[in-house]
Amino acid sequence: MTAVAVILKGYPRLSETFIAQEILALQRRGLDLRIVSLRHPTDKEIHPVHREITAPVSYLPEYLHSEPFRVLRGFAAARKLPGYARARATWRHDLARDRTRNRVRRFGQACVLAAELPGDITHLYAHFLHTPASVTRYAAIMRGLPWSCSAHAKDIWTSPNWEIAEKLADAAWTVTCTRAGFDRLAGLAPDPDKVGLVYHGLDLDRFPPPTGARPARDGGDPGEPAIILSVGRAVEKKGYGDLLAALALLPPEMNWRFRHIGGGGVSDRLKAEAERLGITGRICWLGARSQEKVLEELRAADLFVLSSKIGKDGDRDGLPNVLMEAASQTLPLLATSVSGIPELVEDGRTGLLVEPGDIEALARSLARLIRDPELRRELGAAGARKVGADFSLSGNIAGIAARFGLTEPREQATACE
């Protein structure tokens, strides 16, 4: 049986449910998986899907100086591997173009990975084309093993072209989760046939359709304000500064509440901005939440908004799973036309789209959805149909499974049964 090491930047992570659901789906198809994480988890909660994954998890030294003896042992063992000289030459070539501590750390982690990799591992598989793929690539060369990669968002748009092209040349295959990402990678790949498009998909068993109709709140009743929900990390590319500015432009007589789920590095700044705009009393910052809590919030809301934008460093969303999750609950979507988002949110059909950074258009669309419960119902129903037809996990996981030589899932009990 094929044994595969899956290399992740961090595990488990609340914001990377799409990775966990893929791992579980591959596990259910009989793939022997070993999870290797470059970082220890920082989230206080986990999702149910993490409890069902039975693959063993190991952690590489996050910083080389934190485990010096382990790193030295790994380096000594790696030097004896047949591919070490080639891996070191590859790394030195990369280092000449990227003289950073991170590049040094990647090689050190790769030495530990290559030295400690179980002997039955026959393939290495990285999620994200930047740091995890670098560690995976160097270790795979040392061990003389094939490796592959799943690319997503930031890694596609912020990695330099030379690095992407060389990794795509070395990898056995690479998949990505949006048409926009696929077009970029295929344009850089020496062999475009080695790049595939496979949507993450949503495990609809975890997001069954809601029962009953949503309240027809239209913002006119102070006792029944319209509930606006967003789920996403409080980082630049999510555009929450723009969303706060748009909320502040809504008519003063309109009754609404905004609820946000997610962690992130600029949340204090956002709270201060909401205070400056005079809308703090209408906002609830919920922080990171488990999938069960997210589902509860999706079912209680009236509309879902995600005002993604391109960050100053080029970072951007791919196709956030939270949009699929919201649509699965017949929640109408308001989003921006960034990257792969229009592949799900078709303006006027499965949701509303505005240009990123257009705060006035965002405010107009918010007001339109708040005032019109029937439009929300129509868009929500269409979005749910779109997710079921094109973005289900069961319909998309076969594209990954086939690359590992797998077919249908095996019948097995889960940890939650």
Q: Are 291 and 47 in contact (CB under 8 A)?
A: yes
If DSSP codes are grouped into helix, strand and coil, which group holds residue 330?
A: coil
Give strand pairing partners of 351.
Answer: 347
Q: Which of 100-114, 197-211, 220-234, 374-388 has the lowest mean pLDDT?
A: 197-211
| AA letter at 407 | T
Mean of pLDDT values over 83-97: 98
39: Cβ contacts below 8 Å, ≥ 6 apart: 9, 10, 59, 62
Share of the chain above pLDDT 70, in %: 97
Provide the 10 A C-beta neighbour count for residue 278.
10
Work out the mean pLDDT of the chain and round it to a whole number: 94
Share of the chain above pLDDT 90, in %: 90
List the Cα angle 287/154/313 in 5-degree steps.
95
Q: What is the pLDDT of residue 417?
A: 32
List the Cα angle 202/204/207 in 5-degree steps.
105
In which residue are the tokens 């129509």 written? 378
Nearest to 6 by CA among 15, 22, 16: 22
pLDDT tens track for 152-195: 999 999 999 999 999 999 999 999 999 999 999 999 999 999 99
pLDDT tens track for 231-284: 999 999 999 999 999 999 999 999 999 999 998 766 889 999 999 999 999 999
Q: What is the pLDDT of residue 271?
A: 94
If DSSP codes are grouped into helix, strand and coil, which group holds residue 35?
A: strand
Banded pLDDT at 201 (limits 50, 70, 90) = confident
| Residue burial 128-151, b: 16+ Cβ < 10 Å; e: rest | bbbbbbbbbbbbbbbbebebbbbb
Mean of pLDDT values over 296-310: 97
Helix axes 131-143, 101-116, angle to 10 degrees: 40
Residue 394, CA distances (Å) to 198, 407, 409 in order: 12, 12, 10
In which residue are the tokens 């970082």 written? 39
Q: What is the pLDDT of residue 414?
A: 35
Give backbone dihedrals phi and psi of 345, rounded to 5 degrees, phi first: -95, 100
As a whole number of Å, the end-to-end CA separation of the chain is 26
Mean of pLDDT values over 144-148: 98
Provide the 10 A C-beta neighbour count for residue 169.
12
Determine the Cα–Cα distance for residues 149 and 215; give it in Å rounded to an integer: 44
**Structural domains present in the chain:** 3-201+393-404 (3.40.50.2000), 226-390 (3.40.50.2000)
Q: Are 38 and 10 in contact (CB under 8 A)?
A: yes
User: DSSP secondary-structure letter at 210?
Assistant: P
Distance of CA 66 to the CA centre of its chain: 28
Mean of pLDDT values over 314-332: 95
Banded pLDDT at 311 (limits 50, 70, 90) = very high
Nearest to 113 by CA among 163, 59, 166: 59
Structure tokens at 194: 């080695």
Tell if the pTM clears 0.85, that is, is over it. Answer: yes
Give backbone dihedrals phi and psi of 58, rounded to 5 degrees, phi first: -125, 155
* Omega prior to 208 cis, within 30 of 0: no
Q: What is the pLDDT of residue 228?
A: 98
